[in-house]
Structure 1
Amino acid sequence: MLKKFILITALLFAILIFPVYAESSSNLDKLDNISDKALEMAKLKRYDDSEKMLTYFSDQFIKKTAIEPILDMDELRIITVAHNEALLAIRDMNKGDSEKINSVTKFRLVMDAVKSTHQPLWTEMEDQMMNSFNQTKDAAFKQDATAFNNQLNLFLSQYEMIYPSLKVDLSKETIQQLDTRIQYIDHYRPEVMRESGSQKEFEALQEELTSVFEEMGQDDTDPSLWWVIISTGSIIIMTLSYVGFRKYEGDREKPKKERED
């Protein structure tokens, strides 16, 4: 009887936890969909509609985060900054089409990075970024200043677009390593082209970039879901252990009681 009671308690715990997880996931999905629609409108050059979606996102974002803490403080800050930049770019009449679209894309990638736990959208830029990087490296070794500067500028703009998303998905140490190497190459452009030792710097950065893109495809399970599974499993294991221990104690006491009788 006791065993059944504890097992039922464990199941009830799981049933109560899963709706909370599902609700959080649903709220993030809704916000993510709004950001996706804002980007679609921007790509179609329907900037008024894109602005409306961004404004609607702001309203929903405030409501949903006020009701439930679905995001941590870092994620709140990163999303807010990216959203404000996108809204300002869409409203700026002096911004070109590419600038507007890039700003909204940056925001869209951030929202997806917060929601996704496996292969976020920013990883789809791997081929573009690695192609720009390889051409930058080749131009540096050939000491082609024009090609080097053009390709490096392109790579930096791509890196800037996914940078907020990287801050969501990567550790601060990894971000700092990437920033240090990229800033060195950008700041010391003439030296990087002249010095033969710069090849090691490019190879180190290439290795880190490749590692970052590969690591994001390894774990496809939401950490929150793992927490639910582990918590429920722990309760069941403790329950079975307790029941087993009681049974063991009962079996050991039974001969003693019989002798006493």
Structure 2
Amino acid sequence: MTGWWKVVTCALIIFFSFSGTNEGHAEGKEGWSELNRSSDTILQYVKEQHYEEAAKIMETFSEKFLKVSAAEQGLSMREMQTITSAYDDTLSAVKSASMPHEERVMKTYKLRLLMDVYADSYEPLWQKMRDPLFNELHGMRMSIEENGNPYTQQTDAFLAYYGTVEPAWSVALEASQYQKINSQMQFLRKMAAGEPSKKDWDRHMDVLEEALTEIFEGKMEDEVTDPSFYWLIITVSGAVFSCLTYAGWKKYRAYKAEILRNSLKRNRGQ
């Protein structure tokens, strides 16, 4: 009888150990879904300039995250740093009265895209960044072909889009993919600060296109972009335009309008 009770006791211990793990996993999954919904609510409030309402949600967001991270117990130190950084950026965007509205929205998008990764969505929102990134890359190629180098506002906009999706990619992508695209973006910053030749620009555009294609591989070229991401395009463009002279703005507006018009035509044809 003693031996039998030992077997039963061991079986119960094993059962409840696995049961507790599954419950913790379920709790963690639901917690991430709640955080994802909260990040979307925060983004909508910021877009509508309801900053006080967004700040209130931010308070509950931090409390929820502490509970989720405690239940999950699988987050790496790098992931914790990434989430904390995105949270801090969003918090500063919500509370900084001196920050331009466009910049506030861009910072809030970081947290939105990142939380969607952890919510384990069937189709992660970061995949919707394909059109904004490739459109901007195409614009840079056009300028390089015509002038030998891209406009400063083009590289600024391209890097702004990357900065928005970078936290999500740092978690969602394979380490080699993330390191590749991140190093190429760093190199782009150095090129923009120098005076590379047209040949160097062309070569780097090829490398960037290859890296981005690898990330978005398997997605249809003419896939309809989520309407909310046209809002992001307008936001980034607005932030860039604020730094331009009138003459430079006219040139940039012409090429941007052409790209956006073609994208909208393509989507209407679906």
The verdict on a shared fold, with TM-score over 0.5 as the criterion, is: yes
AA of the residue aligned to 1:126 = R
AA of the residue aligned to 1:64 = V
Answer yes or no: is 1:81 the counterpart of 2:80.
Answer: no
Aligned to 1:183: 186
User: Any conservation in 2 of the 1:118–1:216 contact (CA below 8 Å)?
Assistant: no
Answer yes or no: is 1:134 the counterpart of 2:138.
Answer: yes
Work out which of the two has the higher radius of gyration on C-alpha atoms and give 1 or 2: 1
Counterpart-to-counterpart distance in 1, 2:185 and 2:89: 23
AA of the residue aligned to 1:154 = A
Aligned to 2:115: 111
Equivalent residue runs for 1:1-261 within 5 Å: 16=19, 18-69=22-73, 71-116=75-120, 118-143=122-147, 148-189=151-192, 190-192=194-196, 194-214=197-217
Cα deviation, 1:63-100, whole Å, max 9, x if unaligned, reads 33234425333222211110011101211111011111
Cα deviation, 1:198-227, whole Å, max 9, x if unaligned, reads 32221121011011022689xxxxxxxxxx
Counterpart-to-counterpart distance in 2, 1:68 and 1:188: 41
Please report the TM-score for the alignment, with normalisation by the length of structure 1: 0.70
AA of the residue aligned to 2:161 = Q
Counterpart-to-counterpart distance in 1, 2:154 and 2:120: 30
Counterpart-to-counterpart distance in 1, 2:34 and 2:101: 26
- Cα RMSD after superposing both structures: 3.0
Residues 200 and 18 of structure 1, relative CA distance in 2, 3 Å threshold? same
User: Any conservation in 2 of the 1:54–1:87 contact (CA below 8 Å)?
Assistant: yes
Deviation, structure 1 residue 169 = 0.9
User: Any conservation in 1 of the 2:28–2:71 contact (CA below 8 Å)?
Assistant: no
Q: Mind listing any 5+ residue stretches in structure 1 that lack a counterpart? A: 1-8, 218-261
User: Any conservation in 2 of the 1:75–1:114 contact (CA below 8 Å)?
Assistant: no
- Of residues 30-39 and 208-217 in structure 1, the stretch that sits farther from structure 2 once superposed is 208-217
Q: Mind listing any 5+ residue stretches in structure 2 that lack a counterpart? A: 1-10, 221-270
AA of the residue aligned to 1:110 = L
User: Any conservation in 1 of the 2:148–2:198 contact (CA below 8 Å)?
Assistant: no
Counterpart-to-counterpart distance in 2, 1:29 and 1:151: 35
Counterpart-to-counterpart distance in 2, 1:71 and 1:180: 24
Counterpart-to-counterpart distance in 1, 2:163 and 2:52: 25
**Which fold has the larger relative contact order, with Cα–Cα distance below 8 Å and residues 6 or more apart in sequence?**
1
User: Any conservation in 1 of the 2:25–2:72 contact (CA below 8 Å)?
Assistant: no
User: Any conservation in 1 of the 2:130–2:216 contact (CA below 8 Å)?
Assistant: yes
Deviation, structure 1 residue 21 = 3.3
SS of 1:119's equivalent? coil
Residues 61 and 197 of structure 1, relative CA distance in 2, 3 Å threshold? closer
User: Any conservation in 2 of the 1:83–1:107 contact (CA below 8 Å)?
Assistant: yes
Residues 139 and 27 of structure 1, relative CA distance in 2, 3 Å threshold? same
Identity %: 25
Counterpart-to-counterpart distance in 2, 1:143 and 1:84: 39
AA of the residue aligned to 1:142 = E
User: Any conservation in 2 of the 1:82–1:106 contact (CA below 8 Å)?
Assistant: yes
